């Protein structure tokens, strides 16, 4: 599994101008089952994605290049891969 930390690098007004596009991109990957959870940080300085396992970190980093926030240079992305040692049984299919 992966945790993606998105850190905004531009003012919130620039982020908000691309949020509809970003959410459409997220919707596509939530529908496909790739993204398990996504949402803004509190306070809103970026966002977090929880991504299912099964692919490689490099494949995910390539996919993230299509996120409108990254396309338009609005955010930095950090991908952390982890192996869930403890997992709620409801999430077993995502590991």
Q: What is the pLDDT of residues 67-85, one digit of tens each?
A: 999 999 999 999 999 988 8
Q: What is the pLDDT of residues 39-52, one digit of tens each?
A: 999 999 999 999 99
Alpha helices in the chain (DSSP H): 12-31, 57-64, 68-71
CA 55 remoteness from chain centre: 14
| DSSP SS3 for 9 | coil
Total-model pTM:
0.92
Q: Sheet containing 75-81: which strands, arranged edge to edge?
A: 35-40, 46-51, 2-8, 75-81
């Amino acid at each position: 599994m992966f945790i993606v930390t998105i850190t905004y690098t531009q003012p919130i007004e620039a982020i908000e101008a691309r949020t509809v596009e970003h959410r459409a991109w997220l919707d596509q990957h939530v529908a496909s089952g790739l993204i398990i959870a996504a949402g803004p940080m509190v306070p809103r300085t970026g966002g977090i994605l929880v991504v299912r396992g099964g692919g490689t970190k490099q494949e995910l980093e390539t996919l993230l290049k299509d996120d409108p926030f990254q396309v338009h240079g609005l955010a930095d992305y950090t991908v952390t891969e982890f192996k869930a040692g403890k997992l709620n049984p409801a999430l077993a299919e995502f590991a």
